Amino acid sequence: MARLIGLVALAGSPALAQEALVTAQLGNAVEVVDLATKKILQSIPVSGAPAGIALSPDRKTAYVTRPEGHGIAVIDLEARRVTGSLDLPGGPLGIGVNPKSGEVYVADWYGARVFVLNPSADGLKREGEIATGQSPSGIAVTPDGATLLVANRESDSVSIIDVANRRETRRVPVGQHPFGLTLSADGRFAYTANVVSNDVSAIDVAAGRETGRVATGQRPYVIALAAGRGFVTDQYSNTVTVFDPVTLRKLAAIDVGDHPEGIAVTRDGKTVVVANWGDNALSLIDTSSLTVTGTIETGDGPRSFGDFLR
Amino acid sequence: MKFRTLAAVAALATVTFAAQAHGPTRQKVSESIEINAPADKVWAIVGNFQDGSWIPVVEKTEGKGGNEPKATRTLTLKGGATVEEELSKYDAEKKSLMYRIEKVDVKVLPVNDYSSWVEVEGDGTKSKLTWRGAFYRGYMNNDPPPELNDEAAKKAVSGLYKSGLENVKAKAEKGS
């Protein structure tokens, strides 16, 4: 009976049983936010203007970039505390994790390289770097762990990198100044948010070429894919542009908060979560009605650039 | 107040924002002031994008496009430096406008990629004027010199805002 009640309760409220990890860049903290209760469960101090975030394959560890502290903070998400750190040169901003090997990739915003880090029993170790275009920013890894994609903001291109050889195999021209980069669930298509040309580029990863673009609001930043649609934060328009990732047609523009930046979808695909840097809040968007269903207050300057829903 | 003092020594070099990557950490500043005057009166002072004379350091405003989005204006500052700006959003009903700086010398205002909001709330007797902005520091790489770091950017913007708000308060409260 108890089990039955448990199941009923679970069926009744599964949608937001998930945590958002908010990098409050001006607040110098990473906040663990419970999406169901809309409460900050824990604020973890992280200095150095934390911005980018990625999670280990088992979702128990967060890696957070500290571009002004020049390094990475490692957070144990069960204990909700910083357990390690690693100094890096340049401007570590974009970050991604290999879903198979757990290898961590960090883009140097001021350079033309991605650092390769490996988690070990003694902590995170730097194991080399991979050459990319200028100002690498958004990072994604295909589900098979074999291919790394990097948006090169100043080179107007995407680097397609063979993980095994740590070498760029192709460079795909896209729109002007790509920042966020998101892969489809099957890893076949990538999408970049081009902040200067105000559009999204679609890329066929295997073919190594751009297949089309869709216009967005001003300063598109990061993309989430959910319920067969694409969602892009428009930093300057204070909107999320919704598009069809196949036909590349614009479907809607949803008003959110000031300077929306990080965006990601919940596990169940029903809610898109947006970090609004300007007004210190998360917006929750229902992916079927395309309306904002709630907001959650955060610390100062939430960015959550990366994989921030646990 | 850097905006005023540095205007006099404005160099020829200018920065076009799209050409280079900005720093990694955008900053924000927000200043507000309570004014003993109706909101409509305060909005009449600050709500015309083609008239920047409420900002003490501004000597002349030239522009086109009125108060429509994408309207532009060039502010000439005391001392001769100029700031090129573009209107992004304008809502007369909410008494709110947003604009961006398209071009400014970092020696005049040590910021990059600057946008700001001017907003008036209130009623027929009292109002609150808020000026808030978002921007990156003047130096776009690591290890900025002190005059172009995050603190310098915030200090300059905050000083500009406070002087502007105080000036509007003085103007609006006069004779009311």
ipTM of the complex: 0.82
B8 pLDDT above the threshold of 60: no
Residue B130: what pLDDT?
98
SS3 at position B87: strand
Residue B12: what pLDDT?
33
Residue A229: what pLDDT?
98
Please enumerate in sequence order all residues whose Cβ is within 8 A of that of A290, keeping only pairs 6 or more positions apart, or say none.
A242, A251, A252, A254
Contact B24 A109 (CB under 8 A): yes
User: Is A47 in the B-facing interface, judged by CB distances under 8 Å?
Assistant: no
Contact B28 A26 (CB under 8 A): yes
Contact A68 B115 (CB under 8 A): no
Which among B25, B88, B142 is the nearest to A49, CB-wise?
Answer: B25
Phi first, then psi, for residue A104 (nearest 5°) are: -115, 135
**Residue B10 banded pLDDT, cuts 50, 70, 90:** very low
Give the chain B residue whose CA is nearest to the CA of A27: B27
Contact B134 A278 (CB under 8 A): yes
- The answer to which of A169-178, A281-290, B22-31, B68-77 has the lowest mean pLDDT is B22-31
Residue B19: what pLDDT?
41
Q: What's the predicted TM-score (pTM) here?
A: 0.89
Contact B20 A154 (CB under 8 A): yes
Angstrom distance (rounded) from CA A116 to CA A298: 31
A52-55/A305-306 β-pairing: parallel
Contact A51 B25 (CB under 8 A): yes
Residue B22: what pLDDT?
66
- What are the tens digits of pLDDT across the range B109-166? 999 999 999 999 999 999 999 999 999 999 988 889 999 999 999 999 999 999 999 9
Residue B141: what pLDDT?
85
Give the chain A residue whose CA is nearest to the CA of B24: A67
Q: Which residues on A lie below 8 Å from B141 (Cβ)? A: 110
The DSSP annotation for A146-201 comes to -EEEEEEGGGTEEEEEETTTTEEEEEEE-SSSEEEEEE-TTSSEEEEEETTTTEEE
Vertex B172, ends B116 and B38: CA angle to 5°? 85
Angstrom distance (rounded) from CA A66 to CA A49: 5
Contact B21 A154 (CB under 8 A): yes
Q: How many CA atoms lie within 13 Å of A286's alpha carbon, on the beta-carbon side?
A: 7
Interface of B with A (CB under 8 A): 18, 20-21, 23-28, 88, 100, 115, 134, 141-142
Q: Which residues on B lie below 8 Å from A154 (Cβ)? A: 20-21
Q: Which residues on A lie below 8 Å from B24 (Cβ)? A: 49, 51, 67-68, 91, 93, 109
Which parts of chain A have pLDDT scores under 70?
Answer: 1-17
